[in-house]
Amino acid sequence: MTLAEAPAERRPELVVGVDFGTLSGRAVVVRVSDGAELGSAVHPYSHAVMDRALTAGPAALAGAPIELPPEWALQDPQDYLDVLRIAVPAALEAARAAHGVDAHDVIGVGTDFTACTMVPTTADGTPLCWVDRFADRPHAYVKLWRHHAAQLQADRINTAAHARHESWINRYGGLISSEWEFAKGLQLLEEDPEVYAAMEHWVEAADWIVWQLCGRYLRNACTAGYKGIYQDGAYPSRDFLAALNPDFAGFVAEKVEHEIGQLGQPAGMLTAQAASWTGLPAGIAVAVGNVDAHTTAPAANAVEPGQMVAIMGTSTCHVMNSTELAEVPGMCGVVDGGLVDGLYGYEAGQSGVGDIFGWFVDTAVPADVVAQAETRGLGVHEYLTALAAEQKVGEHGLIALDWHSGNRSVLVDHELSGVVVGQTLATRPQDTYRALLEATAFGTRTIVEAFQRSGVPVTELVVAGGLLKNRLLMQIYADVTRLPLSTIGSDQGPALGAAIHAAVAAGAYPDVRAAAQVMGKRTVAAYPPNEDDARIYDQLFAEYTLLHDYFGRGANDVMHRLKDLRRRVLTVGRPAAVLAEVTS
Amino acid sequence: MTLAEAPAERRPELVVGVDFGTLSGRAVVVRVSDGAELGSAVHPYSHAVMDRALTAGPAALAGAPIELPPEWALQDPQDYLDVLRIAVPAALEAARAAHGVDAHDVIGVGTDFTACTMVPTTADGTPLCWVDRFADRPHAYVKLWRHHAAQLQADRINTAAHARHESWINRYGGLISSEWEFAKGLQLLEEDPEVYAAMEHWVEAADWIVWQLCGRYLRNACTAGYKGIYQDGAYPSRDFLAALNPDFAGFVAEKVEHEIGQLGQPAGMLTAQAASWTGLPAGIAVAVGNVDAHTTAPAANAVEPGQMVAIMGTSTCHVMNSTELAEVPGMCGVVDGGLVDGLYGYEAGQSGVGDIFGWFVDTAVPADVVAQAETRGLGVHEYLTALAAEQKVGEHGLIALDWHSGNRSVLVDHELSGVVVGQTLATRPQDTYRALLEATAFGTRTIVEAFQRSGVPVTELVVAGGLLKNRLLMQIYADVTRLPLSTIGSDQGPALGAAIHAAVAAGAYPDVRAAAQVMGKRTVAAYPPNEDDARIYDQLFAEYTLLHDYFGRGANDVMHRLKDLRRRVLTVGRPAAVLAEVTS
């Protein structure tokens, strides 16, 4: 008897989670009773990331796309709607084909999004890039999280915040990112005041997509707190904004401020139009918006205080709940209800993790190792990992700093760079590879210890994301942190987490914590620490910390000076004045 | 008219230089009047380096060669005689065929040898390994310079020398090497007292080969000083030796002490037997023995005070004359007449240079770069060099320490290891390669500055050796040291230098300095420093020095601790006691 053949009263309730990533959107159909994932589908964005030219708009259609300056990263919001129109019906069809379930049994839909990704809109939520007169204006498009062209604005925000002793600055480890709402908004004002003036709402894409689904604009507590500097019921003051730029004084009141919804609450009901796009029943619950890393925590059933969830991919994002409010040095932020309602949600991060391993494999592994991997039918990462796994801890004689992409937590310094100490003529690729794996584990331990020292206990490390598949890496993290390392039981964590929020919004569970316990999936202590190895790692971590503090806390600012020199000598043409400066 | 057809009185005088290297010997026939190299030949040693098993002797002949412990490196002296028997006649034949010159016109023969390479002999110079009852005793064979199994003995020599404030220890930068005469001799005594007792002379191979040529044993001033601790007319005292081991008290008096010959003097005349081996005329002058690096200085016509000769290959050896006697911290040694009679000869060195570049190419260059090099018909070194040469100074944003093989001068610490600071996800192989080239140049500048600071001026850098062919490397050295960089005009510098000594020994020139001016070859200031680049390198050298002193002078002994940990975890079987120590 298939599920479809079961009597109507026994047909299982379903929810749909939709995860909006950097390059594509993914929908997953989930059973409310146990979190089983019954079907999923992915839709890649047609415009992907526009970081060299504006490939949407009339100019692009006419074959003359507008070039973008360095560090820009835009998206076209039409691509997000296409995910609703294509991936959601495809996921429903996959679930029907595999399990015989029916779209009519879906009781709620939830979403998660990259952040901080910002959409400038009219009063009714129409993106300004869809307004004819702005369709060729880059500033009218969506600024993706990794749009990094507002660094000068971010620098001014930070300088002013510290100069004025703004109370909120230490809720963000002392630094507001160029990626966030205020820096991007200030850039918009200063570079295209006409678009800024026409903008009625400066909307997180996480909230914009919910607006499209239920017709109601509600800011979610997660991005409002982490990216929108909303703390203790207030945003930065008009005075502060005016100090940045007199024309920016009304930014909060006129562009940002709006009703806030708590995570897991319903934002509204699915509109008829959204029902026609998705194939979902009109009128079902639509959950308040959320962020990918933050929905992963309930997906791993890891939302209790002390459960630190590390979403490990090209970079790592750490999120954790706590009953304590503390200013942890170098964290990305702490937000009341930022992860689940009723607890303080913390976020921290490592700028480079899988990216560093990928860089090493792409640029530093010789042909003979690649050939040996091929002979064995292994990828290069797998083969290097297998070779590295044969070593005893400490055998390679190396220590590395994992700062090839800068340091997010706890130093919050993107001018830092990588270090390898200890190479000899006997050092092999697998030795350095293992040292880099270990360096990222030391980086996580540094973050864990910053929380512990600030009075925010960490009792379990829960790993999600693509790097889960590297078993050596997982064991190293367990041994280095001396924490039981648990693993998520899903490879589509963010979408599963969005579905969990949908179930709560639909009333199937009283709150996210309760839903996570039933629908979330986690193998507890999949990798327990090995005490013998942990003791040796204590010695190596002491070496890491010595180098971390030497290079990262001002004793030797060589990394800053090297990057500064690099920028100066690369100045086009090297005019005499620049050369004089370089060599002074 | 060929040279051979010229009237007898106009036939040019010739000399022969024979260079005994690590794996082969090379003979070159040189015209006395101008140093022209008329013919040469190479003979590889049959036994090469015996570092795993004794492949000479009855046991090896019977198919059961004796295994050697780690760090051993032996040679069979018969291989040296074979060079005389094969390479010298072949070089004469090559010179005859190419230039019509005749062996009868050879007026002298000179040699140079690796050092410290030691032969234990009977009273008449017969190597003990040729004495039947010792032919299967490893300690009866030649200990090659890179026999490193006497480290424990070297450590005891150094500890005792400093404890007793021996005046000679600072003539060697504070450290006697395990490679030298005393450490190797003490090992011989303590590990095979019977061979030690039978040994009548402990002979430098540089002097043994001269003994074979002229029948007279004379210690050369160069190795006696640099390797034999002969300073101010005396060796270490009987008291000192007895403190090391009572049975070692007579080492100098009974095994080492012997008449000393100055460089460029005749040791004697070629014997009839040696004439029959070589095809040279009996009775011609045989020059006092010498060392490869030290004969290269006259070959480059660079024996005046302030001319620092860098012989750059897998490692770099620096030699320089001065009128000043000074204790330069971290030098290898200073010897009165160690380079030419009448001046103080200094020696310093870098343990890893070409070896580091080779290690990088072998282990850290990806297949696509290798393929691109092949497409262009270039070697990987050449291609990386070409890519690196496109960069501006400072562009790669990196700084490296060139200690992959430890540091000889000026830190004299083989427990140090390599460092690279500044890598990012944008760092390419040519960036790190260039940083390594630069690191070795900074290492040379560190040595140059140590001499300058000690009151020993350096005014010109003269490069010889295989790395000469890398033009980018040469320019970097000129820019980094701000010295005019001159280059030797011969690719067989040691043998040419040996031939110059032969000419002096034969009376064709009054001394080595005069002969070098005529027969030596050097392009003066082939690479003048570029002032703009030199100013940027000043900044990078300041960064190098900061890291050099941090890692090398005790502020952070992480390299020592990493090597120590590596050794401990690699202890076979990791018994519980060791583990307890490792994790304590």
- Closest of A432, A422, A369, A419 to residue A397, by C-alpha: A422
Please tell me if residue B436 touches chain A, with a CB cutoff of 8 Å: no
> Cβ–Cβ of A419/B421 closer than 8 Å?
yes
Q: What's the gap in Å between the CA of B479 and the closest CA on chain A? A: 13
Q: What is the DSSP letter of A407?
A: B
- CB contacts, 8 Å: A433 with chain B: none
Structural tokens at position A52: 């060299």
Domains of chain B: 7-147+194-238+262-287 (3.30.420.40), 301-488+521-553 (3.30.420.40), 557-584 (no CATH)
Restricting to B residues 46-75, those with a Cβ less than 8 Å away from any Cβ of A are none
Count Cβ neighbours within 10 Å for each residue of A229-241 and write b for 16 or more, e otherwise.
bbbeeebbeeebb
> Rounded to an integer, what distance in angstroms lies between the CA atom of residue A360 and that of residue B427?
10
- Closest of A511, A454, A519, A464 to residue A486, by C-alpha: A464
Amino acid at B12: P
Structural tokens at position B178: 């395990």
Q: What's the gap in Å between the CA of A563 and the closest CA on chain B? A: 6
> Cβ–Cβ of B367/A363 closer than 8 Å?
no
pLDDT in tens, chain A (584 residues): 344 444 445 689 999 999 999 999 999 999 999 999 999 999 999 999 999 999 999 999 999 999 998 889 999 999 999 999 999 999 999 999 999 999 999 999 999 999 999 999 999 999 999 999 999 999 999 999 999 899 899 999 999 999 999 999 999 999 999 999 999 999 999 999 999 999 999 999 999 999 999 999 999 999 999 999 999 999 999 999 999 999 999 999 999 999 999 999 999 999 999 999 999 999 999 999 999 999 999 999 999 999 999 999 999 999 999 999 999 999 999 999 999 999 999 999 999 999 999 999 999 999 999 999 999 999 999 999 999 999 999 999 999 999 999 999 999 888 899 999 999 999 999 999 999 999 999 999 999 999 999 999 999 999 999 999 999 999 999 999 999 999 999 999 999 999 999 999 999 999 999 999 999 999 999 999 999 999 999 999 999 999 999 999 999 999 999 999 998 998 744 444 433 443 43
First to last CA, chain A: 82
Nearest to A562 among B352, B364, B422 (CB): B422
Please tell me if residue A578 touches chain B, with a CB cutoff of 8 Å: no
> Rounded to an integer, what distance in angstroms lies between the CA atom of residue A178 and that of residue A125?
24
Q: What is the DSSP string of B415-429?
A: T--EEEEEE-TT--H
Please tell me if residue B396 touches chain A, with a CB cutoff of 8 Å: yes
> Cβ–Cβ of A397/B359 closer than 8 Å?
no
Q: What is the DSSP string of A49-81?
A: -BSSEE-SSHHHHTT-PEE--TT--EE-THHHH
The Cβ-side half-sphere exposure at A19, using a 13 Å CA radius, reads 26
- CB contacts, 8 Å: B425 with chain A: 352, 355-356, 359, 404-405
Residue A362: which residues within 8 A CB-CB, separation 6 or more?
A: B366
Please tell me if residue B560 touches chain A, with a CB cutoff of 8 Å: no
Confidence of residue B10 (pLDDT cuts 50, 70, 90): low
Burial class (CB in 10 A: 0-12, 13-18, 19+), A163: exposed
Confidence of residue B413 (pLDDT cuts 50, 70, 90): confident
Residue B309: which residues within 8 A CB-CB, separation 6 or more?
A: B293, B296, B297, B300, B302, B318, B319, B320, B462, B463, B464
* ipTM score of complex: 0.90
- CB contacts, 8 Å: A70 with chain B: none
Q: What is the pLDDT of residue A95?
A: 98
Q: What is the pTM of this model?
A: 0.91
Q: What's the gap in Å between the CA of B372 and the closest CA on chain A? A: 13
Strand pairing category for A418-423 and A399-401: antiparallel
Residue B489: CB atoms within 10 A of its CB come to 18
User: Which residue is listed with tokens 């090398």?
Assistant: B552
Confidence of residue B414 (pLDDT cuts 50, 70, 90): confident
Structural tokens at position B18: 């024979």
Q: What is the DSSP letter of B491?
A: S
Please tell me if residue B583 touches chain A, with a CB cutoff of 8 Å: yes
Can you list the positions of beta strands (E) in B137-180?
142-143
Q: What is the DSSP letter of B246?
A: G
Contact B519, B30 (CB under 8 A): yes
Residue B580: CB atoms within 10 A of its CB come to 10
Residue A358: CB atoms within 10 A of its CB come to 15
> Rounded to an integer, what distance in angstroms lies between the CA atom of residue A186 and that of residue A304?
37
Judged by DSSP in three states, B485 sits in strand
Q: What is the DSSP letter of B254?
A: I
Peptide bond before residue B222 is cis, with ω within 30 degrees of 0: no
Please tell me if residue B568 touches chain A, with a CB cutoff of 8 Å: yes
Strand-pair partners of A348? A318
Q: Which long-range contacts (CB under 8 A, 24 or more apart) does A95-98 make?
A: A95/A14, A95/A29, A95/A38, A95/A39, A96/A39, A97/A39, A98/A38, A98/A39
Burial class (CB in 10 A: 0-12, 13-18, 19+), B472: middle
Q: Identify the closest residue of chain B to A573 by CA–CA distance.
A: B392
> Cβ–Cβ of B395/A566 closer than 8 Å?
yes
Contact B392, A579 (CB under 8 A): no
Strand-pair partners of B40? B28
Nearest to B418 among A423, A535, A539 (CB): A423
Q: Which of A368, A387, A398, A421 to mutate to test the interface with B (most CBs of B within 10 A)?
A: A421
Contact B441, B361 (CB under 8 A): no
Restricting to B residues 359-388, those with a Cβ less than 8 Å away from any Cβ of A are 359, 362-367, 370
Can you list the positions of beta strands (E) in B238-363?
260-261, 266-269, 285-287, 307-312, 316-322, 333-336, 344-350
Confidence of residue B9 (pLDDT cuts 50, 70, 90): low
Q: What is the DSSP string of B375-398?
A: HTT--HHHHHHHHHHTSPTTTT--
Task: Give the torsion through C-alpha atoms of B180, B181, B186, B192, to 10 deg.
Answer: 110
Please tell me if residue A439 touches chain B, with a CB cutoff of 8 Å: no
The alpha carbons of chain B give a radius of gyration, in whole angstroms, of: 24
- Closest of A461, A396, A463, A477 to residue A433, by C-alpha: A396
- CB contacts, 8 Å: B428 with chain A: 363
Q: C-alpha B233: how far from its chain's center? A: 24
Burial class (CB in 10 A: 0-12, 13-18, 19+), A80: buried
- CB contacts, 8 Å: B395 with chain A: 566, 569-570
Nearest to B543 among A363, A395, A561 (CB): A561
> Rounded to an integer, what distance in angstroms lies between the CA atom of residue B145 and that of residue B167?
25
Nearest to B424 among A394, A405, A543 (CB): A405
Nearest 5°: the CA angle A478, A479, A484 is 35
Residue A124: CB atoms within 10 A of its CB come to 10
Between chain A and chain B, the number of residue pairs with CB atoms below 8 A apart is: 183
Tell me the percentage of chain B whose pLDDT exceeds 70.
96
